[in-house]
Structure 1
């Protein structure tokens, strides 16, 4: 199936239906998957979204709301519904999705909704609200299927049937003892194929991956990737089973973490919403631009120090821009690769050393290659081989610096406990700009004057 993109005709059809009767609107909505309706919501007003949610059955409405982008404020949509419709939708949501949604509301609104829904659902959601949303506890769903490790095959099957009535799907069964301590995992296939008198303890796999509730969500995602998991159990310090995290939750985490890293490397606050207002964007970005301005003045001061050289060799100004720009691009490449490696795994000292050496060699090779091109240009257009040599050396030197700083700075920041994606970009830009101006000017002063 191809991914859905908003088409002008789709939006026109939906807008026309919104101007008509509820029956016409329902007929149009039936042509779209709930995830597609959530995408169409991006182009609709809050009032139009509310009308659609009220028309949809609670099960479909819950799926649409859970698929909505955070920037479209699904929690606000939920709070504007009638108590009856709202409680129906919340009770249809998985506990983890319901918790994510309710956590975005004020305390008073949270308590109001929790007071409207089924007591068991409210208890489970309250328990999940106690966990940080970016930890395993904040990701987990308490809906799961567990069986006592001492059950026979038939007893286990009866328990599975009973517990699965309220679940749409499940990947793994969890074996616990009388104290709800997790002892292992097993598949429904193993239960079905087993002989009648076999007990769960004979089928259970005691070599399994699990996480503690306070583990960071990024570390959870790494475990899913490393072990090719579809779900993972969450336990407390006493190994008591608390819930499970499924692969669909991890897909959301990966998207969130990747977006966060891209924004940080670009000098944009992680608090800025992709669909936020222009005022919020200014508030998020302006401080970083001011810092960049300060570093730009530092780079400009390098040029001021070689004012006489710039006056006597005016053509050098054009080449400086090229060298500084190439250094910035090369540093960004090295930075992106290094930050990504850090995010995927904590590099050992040996791995960090290899990373730095690699970027040094890449910078030297790329610098020499592009420097040779600049040398040829200076030789052909300016008929000045010495100027070409100056630019060759400056380009090579700046790209070496770019590679070294692009790899070293994020590694050092990580070592001292600073997020490398946040501060690296500004530091590296300062280095490449200053060196990109300093090297050609200093070399020109020494070799051409």
Structure 2
């Protein structure tokens, strides 16, 4: 099956069907997978989305809503639905998906929606709403397949069959004791292959990976990736089994975290929605640009200080932007690699030191190569070998500084508890601009005047 790509013809067909009769629209929608309808929703109005959700079977409608991008605000669709239809959809949703969606609504609306559900479903969702959304507790699904360690093979299989009726899929079976404490995991394959009279306690793997409810979602993603797991159990401080997190939930987390890091490095607030309007974009970006403007005054003051040098050697102004621009690019490269390493692993002191040394070396070599190219340009085009030497030294020095700052600043910010993706780009831009101009104009003042 090929991945679905949004096409204008698909949108046109949907919009035309929306203007026609309901049966035509139902027939057309049946040709699309729920995830494809969720993608199509991005090009439809809120009223059109609500109309489609209302005519879809509740089972399909719940899949569409769970697949919708959070920026399309699936919670607003639920809020405006007929109470009976809304309850049907909510009961089809996994508890973790239902919690993620209604958590975006005001408390009054949350209570209104939960009152329409049966007591058990409402209790599960209310429990999940108590956990921060970026923790294992906020990510987990409380629908979990578990068996008691004292059960025999036949009893365990009967229990698995009973519990699996409420679950779409499961990957591992959690084993608990009489007080619901997690004692290990067992695979369905091991149970089926075992002797008929065996007890589950004899099959338990007690060397397993688990997370606590307050574990950060990034750490959960790392563990699932590191140990190649399809799911991971969530426990409280006393090892009582609370729920499970599956790999598909973690894929969403990785996408969110990567998007967040990219936006932060670019000086864009994580609160800005990618599909938001221009007012939201200005509100999100303007403070960072103003801060960046403040740091630019530092670079400007360096230029002002060397104004006599520039007035005597006007050709320097042509190379100033080159030196600063190359430094900024090199620092951004080092920054991106370092921030990514930090997000994947908590670096030890030795690894952090090695990272800085590596970027220092890369910066020196890249600076020398690029500096030599500019030296040759100045030698043959401007016929000024000493100017070429000054530019060579300035380029080499600035890219060396770019490598050091691009690696060390995010590591330092991480050490003092500041998100390295937020502040690093502005700081390194200031460093490369200021030191680039200082090196070029300072060396020119000493060697060319």
Aligned-residue offset at 1:406: 0.3
- Unmatched 5+ stretches in structure 1: none
Distance 1:26 1:382 in 2: 72
Residue 366 of structure 2 aligns with which residue? 366
Secondary structure of the corresponding residue to residue 331 of structure 1: helix
Distance 1:159 1:37 in 2: 36
Secondary structure of the corresponding residue to residue 207 of structure 1: coil
Distance 1:123 1:307 in 2: 71
Distance 1:224 1:163 in 2: 24
Distance 1:174 1:71 in 2: 35
How many corresponding residue pairs? 449
Residue 143 of structure 2 aligns with which residue? 143
Deviations 1:330-380 (CA, angstroms, capped at 9, x unpaired)? 000000001111111111111111000000000000000000000011011
Residue 284 of structure 1 aligns with which residue? 284
- Unmatched 5+ stretches in structure 2: none
Residue 438 of structure 1 aligns with which residue? 438
Aligned-residue offset at 1:277: 1.6
Residue 357 of structure 1 aligns with which residue? 357
Deviations 1:295-354 (CA, angstroms, capped at 9, x unpaired)? 111101100000011111111111110010000000000000011111111111111110
Residue 391 of structure 1 aligns with which residue? 391
Aligned residue runs from structure 1 range 234-383, under 5 A: 234-383=234-383
Distance 2:162 2:279 in 1: 53
Distance 1:2 1:335 in 2: 36
- The worse-fitting range, judged by mean Cα deviation, of 430-439 and 399-408 is 430-439
Distance 2:78 2:380 in 1: 68
Deviations 1:66-96 (CA, angstroms, capped at 9, x unpaired)? 1111111110011100001100000000000
Does 2:235 match 1:210? no
Aligned-residue offset at 1:231: 0.1
Does 2:176 match 1:179? no
Aligned-residue offset at 1:435: 1.1
Does 2:117 match 1:117? yes
Distance 2:221 2:363 in 1: 32
Distance 2:287 2:433 in 1: 20
Distance 1:324 1:3 in 2: 43
Does 2:42 match 1:79? no
Does 2:147 match 1:153? no
Distance 1:143 1:433 in 2: 55
Deviations 1:124-149 (CA, angstroms, capped at 9, x unpaired)? 00110110110000000011111110
Distance 2:306 2:8 in 1: 57
Aligned-residue offset at 1:60: 0.5
Per the normalisation by structure 1, the TM-score is 0.99
Does 2:213 match 1:192? no
Aligned residue runs from structure 1 range 125-140, under 5 A: 125-140=125-140
Distance 1:3 1:234 in 2: 32
Distance 2:352 2:209 in 1: 28
Distance 1:188 1:411 in 2: 44
Distance 1:193 1:353 in 2: 51
Residue 100 of structure 2 aligns with which residue? 100
Distance 1:66 1:315 in 2: 60
Does 2:43 match 1:43? yes
Secondary structure of the corresponding residue to residue 267 of structure 2: coil
Secondary structure of the corresponding residue to residue 388 of structure 1: helix
Distance 2:132 2:9 in 1: 42
Secondary structure of the corresponding residue to residue 143 of structure 2: coil
Residue 231 of structure 1 aligns with which residue? 231
Aligned-residue offset at 1:2: 2.8
Aligned residue runs from structure 1 range 17-28, under 5 A: 17-28=17-28
Residue 91 of structure 1 aligns with which residue? 91
Residue 404 of structure 1 aligns with which residue? 404
Deviations 1:154-175 (CA, angstroms, capped at 9, x unpaired)? 1101111111111111001011
Aligned-residue offset at 1:3: 2.2
What RMSD over aligned residues (CA atoms) do the two structures have, in Å?
0.7
Distance 2:169 2:415 in 1: 42
Aligned-residue offset at 1:195: 1.0
Distance 2:391 2:340 in 1: 32
Per the normalisation by structure 2, the TM-score is 0.99
Distance 2:448 2:4 in 1: 61
Aligned-residue offset at 1:190: 1.0
Distance 2:168 2:38 in 1: 21
Distance 1:415 1:437 in 2: 30
